Amino acid sequence: MAESSNAVDKGVSFLTALGVALATAISYTTYNSVGWAFVHGVCNWFYVAYALYFDIAQL
């Protein structure tokens, strides 16, 4: 069972990193600003913290 949990943790970690990368890339191409890309990346981490706190994903 521990191996299964580890795979889920790795998958969630990968998807979180992918989400942050996607948010910053889209933000940069849309606004051509590193500052806005940083802000959107940070906002993505706030959403991740919110989702974990309120157990939105229900993994």
Q: What is the pLDDT of residues 22-44, one digit of tens each?
A: 989 999 999 999 999 999 999 98
Containing domain of residue 38, as a range?
Answer: 2-54
pLDDT above 50: residue 57:
yes
What does 3-51 look like in DSSP terms, one character per residue?
A: HHHHHHHHHHHHHHHHHHHHHHHHHHHHH--HHHHHHHHHHHHHHHHHH
**6 lies in some domain:** yes
**7 lies in some domain:** yes
Flag whether the pTM goes above 0.85: no
**59 lies in some domain:** no
> Of the candidates 11, 1, 3, which has an alpha carbon nearest to the alpha carbon of residue 59?
11
Total structural domains in the chain? 1
